[in-house]
């Protein structure tokens, strides 16, 4: 009897935590919405300024290289910097020497202010969402990824975490904000409406520390791949914009205003390559951790279960992308399409396989 | 600047940049992409051409793409390897499509001819790629980095200054500095040539070799694997021989001798379930307490097998895969003599372990007239019986077990020699036991209760409930090779992607006015902000040892105007 009473008590606190988690997730959504509007405002204010750097670089004089961007390398802020030799950097062959755009605010001070507000709100929303995820984990007394609802909230938290980490590392990524927050709102919207599952326990097959390793790295990889995919898409737009300019075309004013403010296509391309290449080994590890877990749980480390198959397809697709970068004739746009294809595979593995295909990984809870 | 510095092709194509071509040569071992111009050299020419194509990066890329495309149908169409019944259902539902799929091997994609062809070609290509690349790399390790190109200003990262120091001094200082930074550096005439990051190539080769190891391990595992299932009731045992298995599958090269000699007894099975909340009834733990012994004379040891914790014996692993209930049944004839007593495993029908099965009394029973007869009972079992839910259990644990029995007599048909399911009755030669109203006798029993058969035909007693567990025994050899391969693959990959292979040149010569001009340039194989950063770093240190002299009248004409923006990675 006392045991039952204790169980009831525990159940009550768990329910309390679960409710708290829900409240936090909804609050995070509200703050993300505010951040979303702040980013929009930043972009709107930014549109007041005329930039035209890309256009200038691409149309001014035939020999763009002589005007190419150079780089001074600073050394730890020492006073000797100015006396030291400057390093001049040339763009790689076949790439245009186009300067990076100034970011969404377009150099507009008010725009910049709103951009900063948006980042602060994003930090706040991130902390609230993180608390929500932790409360959820506490309420179910396990890691928060037993079903798709939990997977979604954890995924968006991690994606925003990756973005904020890049910002904290002083990478030039604020331009990602609007796109990221839009999709985070979508992701959370789907999570709380379609995918919501009340707190529950895992079936015994999901009890294994390999699960924790496998799923946590899978979520992290997804978040980083996602950031890579967004910048790849932006690269494609910016690249065709630059192509048009270089060929003497006149892009529409919206495209101009919007794309001018993004980094140069070469920078976007480089950024997405680095992001994708950086997580690829982790993704490889994720699959192997999954195989080890499958070996423990089902007696075979690889059985071509749909989820496994799609993880493999995703892996091969990203391997294709990396190969493409090393193969002449496949760089640039073609490689970018491969990267998007690969991300599409990841996305299908995450949503499609859970919903349309039945397999051993049926933890969807939908 | 030519594309060579990016692709590392060797030798440089004629773009008028010969000097740079040599400088960037052999900065990688990636194969050269030559246009697929057709050979005119007869059979050998064709063979060579074909081999060159197969081992080119372009074809590797295409094969990789094909591999990922080829893997897709197997995830969408039911596969006979994983779910035979689904395949059968699909065939019944779409007979024509089923035939087409059969012809294309789409019911077993991953062992089909075309899928195998893709990956075998890919791996031939891989081997054909690795071998020459390894030799080339060994050659690069033996050789020295090439001397500075004529015009260092053309390189992606460049810096220069004038100094009072003597050129020899500068070169000496540069050599020491670069060596201290673990560059492979040497004096090449008026300049110091240095290179670093060879581990990138090592990592890349290790990764691709590890892929081969993994594939071979996987194939080996498929050929020699075995997998068998055995249902064991509490108190019963199992010994690892072919005849003991309920079902058994193995790879084509598996032989019976490879069965590891061991046996075990299931002492107790334990399952606990969520008792409250929305997921009431979801399993929390399953565990089987077993005693096992290895070899013919092995000592008995005890262990616990859980869902994710198989028991490993030799190369075999014993997994707990399913469980259910086995009511202990006693059947007596009209005289009260026990003719049957056993625990009868029943098959679960749902998550709350509503189960069904049959009891077959094959011999020993004589009816009231003393004639030999066989008995059969249909059993329907609810571990938790709740009034209001008479046909389905409401909880998976044994909270209020009820066994529903209906009896038959006559001939079970088991002697006909046709294999019969142990979970079904062939009723063609059986008659129902009828109650006083002329309907089939059917009763709910609790543990300890007995159902009397009509007309003094005997009785059946539900004594108690045992549990059974299903064990899967698998043996997948070479899995440790697969694991080793994959670990090497990850580290190789990380080395290949994160390590930069780059060259640095330092040229120091006396200018026309007698002042030494130092030029430094860096070249990396792949896109990275690190090369200029590192060059700046090195230049800074070298500058301290060879401080600047007053500027000459003008910059060298070829130097681009340094239009200064912050370094990448240093933004904001
Ligand atoms: C089983 C199929 C293969 C897979 C999964 C695979 C995967 C990869 C991956 C992920 C990379 C990126 C690592 C890096 O950029 O350094 C890479 C690089 C490379 N692969 Fe493969 N590869 C395969 C087959 C091949 C084949 C058949 C060849 C030879 C034609 C090849 C030649 C190369 C080369 C030369 C690089 C290095 C490119 C560079 O230095 O940037 N690979 N491979």
Nearest CA-CA partner of B529 in A274, A84, A93, A279:
A274
Question: What's the pLDDT at A249?
Answer: 77
Tell me: pLDDT of B120 over 70: yes
Compute the distance between CA of residue A18 and CA of residue B277 in angstroms, rounded to an integer.
12
Interface probe, candidates B28, B79, B112, B308, chain A, greatest A C-beta count within 10 A:
B308
Q: What is the mean pLDDT of residues B326-337?
A: 92
Range among A49-63, A322-336, B362-376 with highest mean pLDDT value: B362-376
Mean residue pLDDT across chain B = 84
pLDDT category at B296 given cuts 50, 70, 90 is confident
Residue of A nearest to B494 (CA): A281
Tell me: pLDDT of A81 over 50: no
Tell me: pLDDT of B252 over 60: yes
Tell me: pLDDT of B18 over 50: no
Tell me: pLDDT of B11 over 80: no
The predicted-structure confidence for B144-160, as pLDDT tens digits, reads as follows 888 888 888 888 888 98
Q: How far is CA A344 from CA A230, A310, B291, B305, in A?
A: 12, 11, 49, 40
Tell me: pLDDT of B508 over 80: yes
Tell me: pLDDT of B464 over 70: yes
Structure letter (DSSP) for residue B386: B
Determine which helix (DSSP H) or strand (DSSP E) holds B558, and give its type and residue range: none
Alpha helices in B225-359 (DSSP H): none
pLDDT category at A201 given cuts 50, 70, 90 is low
With H, G, I as helix, E, B as strand and everything else as coil, classify residue B324.
strand
Q: What is the mean pLDDT of residues B23-42?
A: 68
- Closest residue CA from atom 4 of ligand 1: A319
Which segments of B234-313 are extended strands (E)?
Answer: 237-239, 247-250, 262-273, 283-294, 301-306, 311-313
pLDDT category at B173 given cuts 50, 70, 90 is very high
Question: What's the pLDDT at B417?
Answer: 65
Question: What's the pLDDT at A55?
Answer: 67
Which residues in chain B have Cβ-Cβ distances shorter than 8 Å to A70? 560-565
The predicted-structure confidence for B195-240, as pLDDT tens digits, reads as follows 998 999 999 999 999 999 999 998 888 888 888 999 999 999 999 9
Nearest CA-CA partner of B379 in B401, B357, B350:
B357
As given in the structure block, the two tokens for residue B12 are 């440089």
Tell me: pLDDT of B55 over 70: yes
3-state secondary structure B214-235: HHHHHHHHHHHCEEEEEEEECC
- Confirm or reject contact between A171 and chain B (CB < 8 A): yes
Taking the CA atoms of residue B250, residue B256, residue B257 and residue B259 in that order, the dihedral angle to the nearest 10 degrees is 60
Q: How far is CA A65 from CA A85, A260, B16, B34, B528, in A?
A: 21, 20, 17, 28, 19
Tell me: pLDDT of B2 over 90: no
Compute the distance between CA of residue A214 and CA of residue A283 in angstroms, rounded to an integer.
10
Sheet holding B184-188, edge to edge: A88-89, B157-163, B516-524, B502-510, B191-196, B184-188
The predicted-structure confidence for B491-507, as pLDDT tens digits, reads as follows 999 999 988 889 999 99
Q: What is the mean pLDDT of residues B108-112?
A: 85
Question: What's the pLDDT at B103?
Answer: 86
Give the atom of ligand 1 at the shortest distance from the alpha carbon of B130.
Answer: 29
- Asked if residue A101 lies in contact with residue A264, where contact means CB atoms within 8 angstroms, the answer is yes
- φ, ψ dihedrals at B331, nearest 5°: -115, 135
- φ, ψ dihedrals at A262, nearest 5°: -80, 160
Range among A41-55, A91-105, A347-361, B62-76 with highest mean pLDDT value: B62-76
- Asked if residue B309 lies in contact with residue B290, where contact means CB atoms within 8 angstroms, the answer is no
Q: How far is B499 from chain A (nearest CA, A)?
A: 11
More confident residue, B78 or B417: B78
Question: What's the pLDDT at A310?
Answer: 92
Q: How far is B406 from chain A (nearest CA, A)?
A: 35
Nearest CA-CA partner of A272 in A347, A219, A342:
A342
Compute the distance between CA of residue A102 and CA of residue B566 in angstroms, rounded to an integer.
13
Compute the distance between CA of residue B307 and CA of residue B319 in angstroms, rounded to an integer.
7
Upstream peptide bond of B11 is cis (omega within 30 degrees of 0): yes
Chain Cα centroid distance, residue B340: 48
Cβ B64–A288 below 8 Å, yes or no?
no
Question: What's the pLDDT at A80?
Answer: 34
pLDDT category at A39 given cuts 50, 70, 90 is very high
Q: How far is CA B124 from CA A315, A321, B44, in A?
A: 20, 21, 19
Q: What is the mean pLDDT of residues A274-298?
A: 90
The predicted-structure confidence for A206-224, as pLDDT tens digits, reads as follows 567 787 889 889 999 999 9
Compute the distance between CA of residue A243 and CA of residue A237 in angstroms, rounded to an integer.
10
Range among A59-68, A69-78, B175-184 with highest mean pLDDT value: B175-184
Sheet holding B237-239, edge to edge: B237-239, B262-273, B283-294, B301-306
The predicted-structure confidence for A139-186, as pLDDT tens digits, reads as follows 877 777 777 888 889 999 999 999 999 999 988 888 899 999 999 999
3-state secondary structure B410-460: ECCCHHHCCCCCCCCCCHHHEEECECCCCCECEEEECCCCEEEEHHHCEEE
Question: What's the pLDDT at B330?
Answer: 95
Which residues in chain A have Cβ-Cβ distances shorter than 8 Å to B21? none
Tell me: pLDDT of B404 over 80: yes
Compute the distance between CA of residue B191 and CA of residue B432 in angstroms, rounded to an integer.
104
- Asked if residue B272 lies in contact with residue A172, where contact means CB atoms within 8 angstroms, the answer is no
- Closest residue CA from atom 37 of ligand 1: B30
The Å distance, Cα A337 to ligand 1 centre, comes to: 18
Compute the distance between CA of residue A96 and CA of residue B149 in angstroms, rounded to an integer.
24
pLDDT category at A297 given cuts 50, 70, 90 is confident
- Confirm or reject contact between A351 and chain B (CB < 8 A): no
Tell me: pLDDT of B6 over 50: no
Tell me: pLDDT of B76 over 60: yes
Q: What is the mean pLDDT of residues B96-103?
A: 87
Q: How far is A344 from chain B (nearest CA, A)?
A: 13
Q: Mean pLDDT lowest for which of A80-84, B383-387, B529-533?
A: A80-84
The Å distance, Cα B519 to ligand 1 centre, comes to: 35
pLDDT category at B80 given cuts 50, 70, 90 is confident
Compute the distance between CA of residue A116 and CA of residue B69 in angstroms, rounded to an integer.
44
To the nearest whole percent, how much of chain A has pLDDT over 70? Answer: 78
Q: How far is A189 from chain B (nearest CA, A)?
A: 23
- Confirm or reject contact between B527 and chain A (CB < 8 A): yes
Alpha helices in chain A (DSSP H): 2-46, 53-59, 109-140, 148-168, 177-193, 209-246, 253-260, 265-298, 306-326, 333-347, 353-356
Which residues in chain B have Cβ-Cβ distances shorter than 8 Å to A83? 543, 548
Q: Are strands A69-72 and B563-566 parallel, antiparallel or unpaired?
A: parallel
Question: What's the pLDDT at A16?
Answer: 82
pLDDT category at B89 given cuts 50, 70, 90 is confident
Question: What's the pLDDT at B565?
Answer: 35
**Token pair 């702040």: residue:** A38
Alpha helices in A88-208 (DSSP H): 109-140, 148-168, 177-193
Tell me: pLDDT of A328 over 80: no
Regarding the beta carbon of B402 and ligand 1, being less than 6 Å apart is answered no
- Closest residue CA from atom 20 of ligand 1: A323
Cβ A70–B539 below 8 Å, yes or no?
no
More confident residue, B10 or A343: A343
Tell me: pLDDT of B13 over 60: no
Interface of B with A in 430-489 (CB under 8 A): 472, 474, 476, 479, 482-483, 486-487, 489
Question: What's the pLDDT at B491?
Answer: 96
Pocket test for ligand 1, best of A315, A326, A330, A331 (most atoms within 8 A of CB): A326
Taking the CA atoms of residue A213, residue A219, residue A225 and residue A227 in that order, the dihedral angle to the nearest 10 degrees is -130
Residues shown for chain A? 366
Q: What is the mean pLDDT of residues B51-60?
A: 83
pLDDT category at B54 given cuts 50, 70, 90 is confident
Compute the distance between CA of residue B134 and CA of residue B312 in angstroms, rounded to an integer.
39
Burial status of residue B76 (CB atoms within 10 A of its CB: 0-12, 13-18, 19 or more): middle
Question: What's the pLDDT at A53?
Answer: 66
pLDDT category at A78 given cuts 50, 70, 90 is very low
Compute the distance between CA of residue A93 and CA of residue A96 in angstroms, rounded to an integer.
8
Which residues in chain A have Cβ-Cβ distances shorter than 8 Å to B539? 84-85, 87
Tell me: pLDDT of B129 over 80: yes
Q: What is the mean pLDDT of residues A92-99?
A: 62
Mean residue pLDDT across chain A = 80
Question: What's the pLDDT at B38?
Answer: 64
The predicted-structure confidence for A219-257, as pLDDT tens digits, reads as follows 999 999 999 999 999 999 999 988 888 887 777 777 777
Which residues in chain A have Cβ-Cβ distances shorter than 8 Å to B109? 304
The ipTM assigned to this model is 0.84
Cβ A329–B33 below 8 Å, yes or no?
yes
Q: What is the mean pLDDT of residues A188-215?
A: 75
């Amino acid at each position: 009897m006392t045991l039952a009473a204790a169980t009831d008590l525990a159940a009550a606190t768990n329910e309390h935590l679960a409710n708290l988690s829900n409240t936090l997730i909804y609050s995070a959504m509200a703050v993300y919405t505010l951040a979303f509007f702040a980013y929009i405002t930043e972009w709107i204010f930014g549109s007041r300024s005329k930039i035209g750097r890309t256009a200038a670089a691409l149309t001014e004089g035939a020999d763009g290289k002589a005007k190419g961007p150079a780089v001074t390398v600073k050394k730890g802020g020492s006073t000797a910097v100015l006396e030291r030799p400057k390093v001049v950097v040339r763009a790689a062959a076949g790439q245009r020497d186009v300067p990076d755009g100034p970011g969404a605010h377009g150099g507009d001070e008010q725009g910049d202010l709103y951009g900063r507000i948006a980042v602060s709100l994003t930090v706040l929303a991130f902390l609230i969402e993180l608390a929500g995820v932790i409360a959820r984990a506490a309420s179910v007394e396990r890691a928060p990824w037993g079903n798709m609802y939990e997977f979604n909230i954890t995924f968006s938290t991690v994606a925003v975490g990756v973005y904020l980490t890049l910002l904290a590392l002083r990478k030039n990524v604020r331009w990602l904000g609007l796109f990221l927050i839009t999709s985070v709102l979508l992701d959370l919207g789907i999570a709380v409406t379609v995918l919501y599952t009340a707190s529950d326990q895992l079936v015994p097959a999901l009890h294994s520390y390999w699960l924790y390793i496998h799923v946590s790295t899978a979520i992290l990889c997804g978040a980083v791949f996602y950031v890579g995919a967004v910048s790849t898409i932006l690269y494609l737009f910016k690249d065709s914009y630059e192509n048009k300019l270089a060929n003497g075309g006149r892009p529409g004013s919206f495209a101009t205003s919007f794309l001018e403010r993004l980094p140069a296509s070469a920078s976007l391309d480089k950024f997405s390559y680095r992001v994708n290449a950086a997580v690829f080994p982790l993704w490889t590890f994720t699959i192997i951790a999954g195989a080890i877990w499958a070996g423990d749980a089902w007696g075979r480390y690889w059985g071509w279960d749909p989820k496994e198959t799609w993880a493999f397809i995703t892996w091969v697709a990203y391997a294709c992308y990396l190969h493409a970068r090393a193969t002449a004739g496949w760089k640039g746009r073609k490689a970018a399409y491969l990267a998007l294809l690969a991300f599409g595979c990841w996305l299908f593995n995450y949503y499609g396989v859970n919903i349309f295909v039945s397999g051993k990984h049926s933890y969807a809870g939908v | 600047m030519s594309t060579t510095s990016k692709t590392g092709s060797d030798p440089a194509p004629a773009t008028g940049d010969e000097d740079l071509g040599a400088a960037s040569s052999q900065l990688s071992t990636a194969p050269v992409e030559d246009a697929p111009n057709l050979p005119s050299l007869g059979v050998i020419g064709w063979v060579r051409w074909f081999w060159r194509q197969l081992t080119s990066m372009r074809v590797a890329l295409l094969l990789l793409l094909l591999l990922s495309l080829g893997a897709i149908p197997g995830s969408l169409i039911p596969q006979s390897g994983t779910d035979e019944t689904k395949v059968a259902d699909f065939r019944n539902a779409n007979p024509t499509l089923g035939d087409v799929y059969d012809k294309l091997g789409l019911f077993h994609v991953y062992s089909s001819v075309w899928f195998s062809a893709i990956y075998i070609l890919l791996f031939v290509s891989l081997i054909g790629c690795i071998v020459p690349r390894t030799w080339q790399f060994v050659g690069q390790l033996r050789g020295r980095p090439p001397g500075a190109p004529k015009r260092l200003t053309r390189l992606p990262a460049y810096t220069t200054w004038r100094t009072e120091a003597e050129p020899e001094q500068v070169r000496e200082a540069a050599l020491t500095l670069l060596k201290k930074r673990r560059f492979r550096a040497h004096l090449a005439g008026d300049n110091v040539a240095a290179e670093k990051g060879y581990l990138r190539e090592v990592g890349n080769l290790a990764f691709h070799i590890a892929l081969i190891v993994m594939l071979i391990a996987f194939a080996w595992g498929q050929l020699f694997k075995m997998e068998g299932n055995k249902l064991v009731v509490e108190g019963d045992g199992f010994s690892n021989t072919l005849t003991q298995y309920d079902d058994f599958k193995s790879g084509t090269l598996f032989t019976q001798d490879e069965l590891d000699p061991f046996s075990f007894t299931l002492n107790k099975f334990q399952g606990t379930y969520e008792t409250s909340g929305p997921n009431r009834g979801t399993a929390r733990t399953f565990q089987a307490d077993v005693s096992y012994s290895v070899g013919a004379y092995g000592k008995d040891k005890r262990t616990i097998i859980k869902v994710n914790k198989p028991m490993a014996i030799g190369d075999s692993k014993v997994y707990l895969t399913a469980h259910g209930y086995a009511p202990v049944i006693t059947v007596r004839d009209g005289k009260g003599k026990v003719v049957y007593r056993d625990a009868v495993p029943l098959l679960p029908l749902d998550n709350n372990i509503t189960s069904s099965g049959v009891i077959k009394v094959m011999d020993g029973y004589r009816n009231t007239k003393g004639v030999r007869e066989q008995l059969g009972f249909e059993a329907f079992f609810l571990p938790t019986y709740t009034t209001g839910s008479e046909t389905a259990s409401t909880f998976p644990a044994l909270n209020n077990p009820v066994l529903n029995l209906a009896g038959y007599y006559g001939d079970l048909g088991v002697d006909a020699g046709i294999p019969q399911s142990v979970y079904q009755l062939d009723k063609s030669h059986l008659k129902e036991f009828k109650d006083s109203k002329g309907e089939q006798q059917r009763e709910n029993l609790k543990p300890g209760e007995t159902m009397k058969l009509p007309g003094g035909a005997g009785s059946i007693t539900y004594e108690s409930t045992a549990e059974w567990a299903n064990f899967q025994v698998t043996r997948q050899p070479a899995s440790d090779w697969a694991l080793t391969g994959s670990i090497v693959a990850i580290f190789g990959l990380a080395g290949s992607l994160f390590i930069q292979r780059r060259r640095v040149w330092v040229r120091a010569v006396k200018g026309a006015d007698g002042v030494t001009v130092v030029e430094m340039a860096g070249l990396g194989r792949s896109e990275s902000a690190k090369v200029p950063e590192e060059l700046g770093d090195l230049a800074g240190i070298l500058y301290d040892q060879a401080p600047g002299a007053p500027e000459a009248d003008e910059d060298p004409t070829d130097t681009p105007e340094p239009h200064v923006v912050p370094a990448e990675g240093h933004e904001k």
